[in-house]
Amino acid sequence: MPATIIAITNQKGGVGKTTTAAALLTSLHNRGARVLGVDLDPQGSLGFSLGLDIENCSTIYDVFRGQSQPEEVLASTDVCDLLPSNILLAGAELEFNRPGREFLLKNALSRIEENYDFIIVDTPPALNLLTVNAYVASDSLIIPMAPEILSLLGVSQIKETIEGVQSYYNPRLKVLGILLNRFNGRFNLNREVLELAGQIAAQLHTRVFEAKVRSGVAAGEAPAHGQSVVDYAPRSKPAQDFEALCDEVAGARFPRRDQRGGAC
């Protein structure tokens, strides 16, 4: 059975894409899933967040250039295999201009996807060739957003790109849901953004996830320790909320395990 491929996407930066990707990879691993992370952000934040030395390893850029096969580039972290990235990928828009360039990631993953249950793709904060590659290769999208108006605008602008990919490259692509990060239901703005996010979700034929990720110091500290917040501070509010998100995404196949290793 091929892997379920999920891209974490929002053209706006600072909304928690990498934090969400790292948390999902970790939670799925802890539940017994075979997981692969793909970093399509030239900043290489996903690899860094999972403890990888991104300056001294082969990357997805080498695969796209045809210099390496994906299985040769795979890096191993404590929670998953990873196709890492670094700043060299920033020139992809100009460098990869040949026909079929939208399928670079899909073709690469086709060689290795049967080795995994889930593949989580972290995308750059832009609607560019790298993002389109993620959409073409994926089964579904998770759209994180912060509870602020500008973040909401970024979500609404994604709609055209999604529909274009569905029409020309990947008709099976769907939006799994919108995820609210740094959410505090006591604030009026947060509640207003939640209502507006619901309206945008309806336009995208999806929903706002029941899980809302609350703020917490641990989420900001975790990357410096090479861990996701799920492992770094499992009892923190953000970690608990990401576990609830994983329940919604994959709980039927991979339920939570109790401390003795059994399913909850």
pLDDT score of 21 = 97
Render each residue's pLDDT in the chain as its tens digit; 264 residues: 789 999 999 988 889 999 999 999 999 999 999 999 999 999 999 999 999 887 788 899 999 999 999 999 999 999 999 999 989 898 888 888 888 999 999 999 999 999 999 999 999 998 899 999 999 999 999 999 988 877 777 777 788 899 999 999 999 999 999 999 998 888 888 888 899 889 999 999 999 999 999 988 999 899 999 999 999 999 999 999 999 999 999 989 999 886 444 554
Residue 79 in contact with residue 226, Cβ under 8 Å?
no
Give the whole-angstrom CA distance, residue 38 versus residue 89. 13
What is the phi/psi pair of residue 38, to 5°?
-125, 120
pLDDT score of 54 = 79
SS3 138: coil
pLDDT score of 154 = 73
The reply to whether CATH 3.40.1410.10 applies to domain 4-244 is no
Give the whole-angstrom CA distance, residue 235 versus residue 77. 22
Whether the full predicted model's pTM is greater than 0.85, yes or no, is yes
Dihedral angle over CA of 37, 39, 44, 48, nearest 10 = -10
Residue reference for tokens 């750059």:
124
